[in-house]
Amino acid sequence: MPDDAALLEEFYRILRPDGILIVSTPNEWPLETSPFHVKEYNLASFIELFESRFSCVDLYNQNSGSDTPYNHGQARGIVATTRENEELAECYIAVYRRKL
């Protein structure tokens, strides 16, 4: 999403009040290895992007369990993101609620 602010405004516009948005992003994958991504996010920047229009309901780590350099040792699957495991995520999945 080259214009993430415009996309978020559109999400906000089309969601009903109190509507739910589920989004994901790779955890700091280098852009040169991710041809479908134009911006790099870590957990803090991913959350910050949404906070003006959405409230975070849940965060999850998603991992392939493969030997890719972006898997930081977490087993395959999706688990709740905690302070202890947030750096292990290959990707983050966030569940947001549209602010009223």
Average pLDDT, the chain: 91
Structure tokens at 50: 């949404």
Angle at which helix 4-14 crosses helix 43-50, to 10 degrees, equals 50
pLDDT at 27 over 80: yes
Report pTM. Answer: 0.87
Q: Give the side-chain half-sphere CA count within 13 A for 30.
A: 4
Q: Distances from the Cα of 71 to the Cαs of 3, 5, 17, 63, 94, in angstroms? A: 27, 28, 36, 6, 18
What are the structural domains, with CATH classification, of the chain?
Answer: 4-98 (3.40.50.150)
pLDDT digits (tens, 9 = 90+) for 37-84: 788 888 999 999 999 999 999 999 999 988 888 888 889 999 999 999
* pLDDT for 69: 84
